[in-house]
Amino acid sequence: MATEEILEPFELNFSDLLRFSSSPLSDSSSPDCLDSVYDGVMEALGPLGPGLLCVAGVPLDFNLLRQKILPLARKLALLSSGDRDRILKCHGLGSDVPLKNPYRTVSSFAKQFKYADCRDLPKGNSVEDKQVLHDTDFDQLGTAFDRLSYCMMEVGLMLAELCDRKIGGQELKSSLLNSGTGKGRLIHYHSEYDNQIIKKSRERSSKKATKPTPFHTSSHQECERFKTKNQGTERKDIFTSSIRSSSDVWQNWHYDYGIFTVLTAPLFLIPDNMNSLDCTSEWNPPNGLHTCLQLYDRVRRKILMVKASPESFIVQVGETAEILSKGKLRSTLHSVHRPSWWGYLSRENFVVFLQPAWDKFLTMSGRDNSGDHDDDDNELEGDLDKEITKAVPPLRSRLKDGMTFAEFSRVTTRQYYGGGGTQSRK
């Protein structure tokens, strides 16, 4: 039986990334003091590592942008569809998940961006930045979205260059630059209370109900008890209790199929006022700085709960990076955990997906078998191992030699979520 542990990822300082990006491509020219950084990065992202690291020391401006934009995810998710569509259109955003289901666990607001456009944005301490940070509600949503995407894209590009130096060649960074595009997502992970709000709002709008109905008769008191019991350290088991089934996850087990996924540390919100959607408080997880992001360590057969500071970015390896590096990097099998006391707790996050061009050809040949996560499936023993793997279609069933990245992404999406897929709801 697998057990859950806390993972404190390797921390790479943002200033070190900048130093690497301004250095020649030859390892021999790198300062000796940075050798330990190389080793730490490859240990974290290599075949025996978690496939994930944190980037600390991110410039203050971008942490302020995080604080500004993350609470907007919940506000957008709970708006009426007409108001939400108008705001998204105004800022050039869309949604890549269905928003009609009132019981959905996730709402996502997305935008494809071009690297060239991002590089033209102001790089900090500008008049535009100050307007974004002091703006109310959605007026500067699009600008904040673009600014944060730009910084996270730069982190991914610099990390790709660093990995290329240790792997040899320039495959990762050149694949990203040849693509020229990325995808940003502002994500709201719903609480049960959020879904009740959406359901009641739709009933009122369709005249099936004439007045709001509370979540339950003592909703305000229950919410206050939740905050009192679980703030700080009194309830330390909220993130470390026994492993749960897939019904206790906001997002089921999966691999990202791009090159890198760059995430902000999440924000957790609790409603203060049952009669107002705007009155929320940030909730600080007990027992450390947890993220609800959990990884599956296939070597030790353990689930690892990721711990990260709010001021850091998290970078995960995707399957295409594993393929292009011929197994020298290891993709991250992960899910988003839903705590046991989740009725009023929501999670907000901002994510940037970095991928190669759609016409990039992929091949399985020349891979280092120690980095092939399909090989681990042949040695599964425990029920949890098999349950997690059942949710994830094997890489070899999704990737054939000579496929383009576009074909790989279509097959992967279909085998996860299409009719008959491992996580299909049909």
Range with top average pLDDT, 22-36, 169-183, 281-295: 169-183
Of the candidates 240, 252, 297, the one whose C-alpha atom is nearest the C-alpha of residue 51 is 297
Band of pLDDT at residue 31, cut at 50, 70 and 90: low
Residue 149 is classified by DSSP as H
What pLDDT shows up at residue 414? 95
**Joined tokens for residue 45:** 């992202």
DSSP string, 55-118: EE---HHHHHHHHHHHHHHHHHHHS-HHHHHHHHHHTT-B-SS----TT-SEEEEEEEEEHHHH
Of the candidates 286, 304, 290, the one whose C-alpha atom is nearest the C-alpha of residue 236 is 286
Give 13's strand partners. Answer: 56
What pLDDT shows up at residue 248? 81
Share the mean pLDDT of the chain: 81
- Has residue 25 got a pLDDT over 80? no
Contact 88, 145 (CB under 8 A): no
**Joined tokens for residue 56:** 């600390």
What pLDDT shows up at residue 29? 46
Q: Of 312 and 33, which is predicted with more confidence?
A: 312
Q: Which of 288-292, 348-352, 373-377, 415-419 has the lowest mean pLDDT?
A: 373-377
Contact 417, 391 (CB under 8 A): no
Contact 352, 160 (CB under 8 A): no
**Joined tokens for residue 171:** 């495959």
Global pTM? Answer: 0.85
pLDDT digits (tens, 9 = 90+) for 104-118: 899 999 999 988 776
Report the alpha-carbon distance of residue 400 to residue 127 in Å, rounded: 50
Q: Of 124 and 184, which is predicted with more confidence?
A: 184
What pLDDT shows up at residue 156? 95
Tell me what percent of the residues of the chain surpass a pLDDT of 70. Answer: 74
**Mean pLDDT to the nearest integer, 142-162:** 93
Residue with the two structure tokens 């299409």: 418
Report the alpha-carbon distance of residue 106 to residue 188 in Å, rounded: 6
**Mean pLDDT to the nearest integer, 32-37:** 74
Band of pLDDT at residue 301, cut at 50, 70 and 90: confident
Of the candidates 158, 141, 210, 192, the one whose C-alpha atom is nearest the C-alpha of residue 350 is 141
